[in-house]
Structure 1
Amino acid sequence: HARDPQNGKPTADPSVFMQFLPRIKQATDAVVNITTGGSMLMTVDQRLEGPSKAAPEMCSLNMGSMNFALFPLLGKYKTWKHEWEPQMLAATEDAIFRNTFKDIARILEVMGQGHGTRFEHECYDVGHLYNLAHFVDRGVLKPPYFVQMIFGILGGIGADMRNLMFMKETADKLFGKDYRWSVLAAGRNQMPFAAQAVMMGGNVRVGLEDSLFIGRGKLAVSNAEQVAKIRRIIEELGFEIATPDEARRMLGLKGADRVAF
């Protein structure tokens, strides 16, 4: 995601993306994944401005329209750094995060066919898995499909381990051996769900977008702190961390030499 450097507000301005994407590429060989979700207050065309300019190896793709409710957070905080923050949270009580079949098809065309970008298919509920299967059946996607199962957002499937099992069983039924999968859970469920996903043979996503905390009541100081923690958990469970090049092969990515930043 990109933020306005003046006030931290989400932005799709390609010039803002280009302020940090080349720096990330110069500093690391990690796969850079850019959002096409942006903000629910942006149009699809706005959401595509940054990714279409950067032509990344991977970008996110929300697999269905939904209530994406963040307004309950208003009751947890009394002070705000910027005026837009409580306003954006309040707006989610009466807004739909639009991702129609036509919207999804457009993103697949612009980013997939146009730039060779592959997708992190964000599935916030079991119906989103069936939406993905619809596009697979249409022949517009090639395996391996990378499915990000998301739990704990109000408006999506709840953070219950039985729901994780159900999502995994449904994905197995729909995609067989043609997919890779990962799990993220919002807030305090982040690390427990990530650990469970590892034990089930999946991959993980952590970061401040999904949780601001590193432990009970303790704010994380950075994304890196969360990454280091889940790495320790993964290795203690007896698993190995994929290198960037291994991840590229696992996901069928085009390579860092074919991006536009």
Structure 2
Amino acid sequence: MHLLEVIDASFSYKSAKIFEHISISIGPGEVHCIIGPNGCGKTTLLDCILGILKFNAGEIKLMGRNINQYRIWEIANQMAYVPQSHAKTFPYTVLDIVLMGRASHTGMFSSPDMEDRAIAEDALAMVGLSRYKDRPYTQLSGGEGQLVMIARALAQQTPLIIMDEPTAHLDFKHELIVLETIVRLVRDTGLSVVMATHFPNHAFYFANHGINTFVALMSNHSFMAKGHPDNILTEENLQSVYNIYAKVVTQHIDEIGELKQIIPVGTLANNFQGGQTV
């Protein structure tokens, strides 16, 4: 059974068509990268899946059932969310922020109990932030704060996490820490991730590390191609979607094996052709 299915979905803002005829299926232990240029509808699609927006047409199935048959707290027990950014307004402790992920498991007038606290502390340990549990959340760096958001999602104990550009605004090191954390969690727990990203190399990163990875390449209001990164992230597709000249290269590293990466070379708008600027 698929964890999540989006079936022939379409969405418009009044007369502005955002996407149409979108379908995607996510199984256990998979990472699905939704990739495409700015404004193509990646975040809007995630907002529809999360129930923030409603499709004009189409259907969402969660664990084989139409999502409209679930109560809100039931959806929260199956699907967690990591936003692109999170405002650090109040100086809650890091542990308090992660405990908020237990909300769907506690009653309306109940407080988190010792079991909830233990689950939250385990989630912090999974992302390597146990030592920060008593620190005010407002004192964390952007990368540390993003890992706290992942820990909060883990505390929900859902089989699926939706991530909207989880490495946006992060430096090189913290971007790698987030990617390494996702790989470890998928490998160790069987978690599934749907991730919108601006960086096609993220999909190759997961595939390079043995994760069952799929790409949905979004362009012209739909998915122009879906499948394994090797088949979808081709030089021809990158040129078509991004209007760039890029090379897909494979490098052998003794400790790891073969790694595949995209090297952007130049934009076609700058008349970059065949490896030279003209």
The reply to whether TM is greater than 0.5 is: no
Higher helix share: 1
Higher strand share: 2
TM-score normalised to the size of structure 1? Answer: 0.36
TM-score normalised to the size of structure 2? Answer: 0.35
Higher relative contact order (CA 8 A, sep 6+): 2
User: Which entry has the higher C-alpha Rg, 1 or 2?
Assistant: 2
